[in-house]
Amino acid sequence: MTTKNDIYYHACTEKDERFIMDVCLDPFNARLRVDDYRGDVRAMHSRILELVEQHSFTKVFIKSRQEDWQTFLSLGYMLEGVYKKYFNGNDAYSMAMYFTDERRTSDYWMEEDTILRQVLALPRKLSDESLALGYSLRLAVTEDAEQLANLYGAVFQTYPTPMNDVSYIKKVMLEGTIFYIVEKEGKIVSAASAEINATYNNAEMTDCATYPEHRKHGLMRHLISALEKELRRRHMYCAYSLARSLSFGMNAVFHQLGYEYTGRMTKNCNIFDKFEDMNLWVKNLSAK
């Protein structure tokens, strides 16, 4: 059955006698993503090219295992980042292939380099600070979905997933994604989530949003720190995030909380109002 969210992505498994791979067909972002696989890399690549042509995608990116990333390199992929300790302690290598010059070419790379240098020069802020007066923080429940959808719909003109849809937020919550929220006077004003991969004990920190009038209070640092504590309780050891390379604030949050910058992905997703480059930040939650 087709749903209104099918324009965003469709997860499926592709396999034959030579390989098996978990694929995300993502028309909204004009890309194909391979999250996991086993078997013959070259045979898998042939099937990827068929899918790209079938769906008119302009980008492929694969979370490659350590033993395979150089094979992907030999097939024409490029290394864009490293998800440290992604596969239960082993690194994943983000290998990308582009199919148009427009998708391959960044429009803001030098500006993003400047922002990154400024962010990396900031001091860490790992100490526990008090939440600003009048704000409170808690784990979200499904009853919060409507306010969350309103928040995401207001903050993002476009977004890689349908986070302005109440039913979608409830769905991902029921599938295991955890949200923390900050409230003021009973209204959700800031939120972030952790999308858990229980197979490999990792989580993506994502869906970070704050209403403009409530920024400058450091709310996102509190949300990410709260999510980290919850992830440690659930035995998740690798946390990572893709932050808009043009966003000084979000990159600063992850740097100051001890995340390591490990790469940049060109025009990775359709967010705000265009395809944007995304910085990869990774943190080992098992380290003291």
**Which CATH number characterizes residue 65's domain?**
3.40.630.30
Domain co-membership, 96 together with 166: no
Residue-wise over 120-154: b if at least 16 C-beta within 10 A, else e? eeeeeeeeeeebeeebeeeebeeebbebbbebbee
In the structure, what pLDDT confidence band is assigned to residue 3 with cuts at 50, 70 and 90?
very low
Encoded tokens for 71: 């094979």
**pLDDT tens string 232-284:** 999 999 999 999 999 999 999 999 999 999 999 999 999 888 999 999 999 99
In the structure, what pLDDT confidence band is assigned to residue 2 with cuts at 50, 70 and 90?
very low
Helices H, strands E: what count in the chain? 8, 13
Domain co-membership, 155 together with 228: yes
- 193-201: list long-range contacts, CB under 8 Å, 24+ apart: 193/227, 194/227, 194/230, 194/231, 194/236, 194/239, 196/231, 196/234, 196/236, 199/36, 200/86, 200/87, 200/88, 200/238, 201/88, 201/235, 201/236, 201/237, 201/238
Are 219 and 184 in contact, with CB atoms under 8 Å apart? Answer: no
- How far is residue 191's CA from residue 100's CA, in Å, rounded to a whole number? 35
**pLDDT tens string 226-244:** 999 999 999 999 999 999 9
Above 90 in pLDDT, residue 20? yes
Domain co-membership, 146 together with 44: no
Domain co-membership, 116 together with 94: no
Domain co-membership, 141 together with 254: yes
Encoded tokens for 59: 């980008």
pLDDT in the model for residue 127: 59
Q: Mean pLDDT, to the nearest integer, of 55-77?
A: 98
Domain co-membership, 202 together with 225: yes
Q: Mean pLDDT, to the nearest integer, of 35-50?
A: 98
Domain co-membership, 89 together with 169: no
Domain co-membership, 76 together with 196: no
DSSP structural state of residue 7? G
Q: Which amino acid is at 38?
A: R
Domain co-membership, 91 together with 177: no
Above 70 in pLDDT, residue 7? no
pLDDT in the model for residue 11: 93
Domain total in the chain? 2
In the structure, what pLDDT confidence band is assigned to residue 287 with cuts at 50, 70 and 90?
confident
**pLDDT tens string 136-158:** 999 999 999 999 999 999 999 88
pLDDT in the model for residue 6: 54
Last residue of a domain, one of 86, 104, 122: 104
Other Cβ atoms closer than 10 A to 172: 18
Cα 48 from chain centroid (whole Å):
22
Last residue of a domain, one of 104, 131, 160: 104
pLDDT in the model for residue 1: 33
Q: Mean pLDDT, to the nearest integer, of 169-185?
A: 97
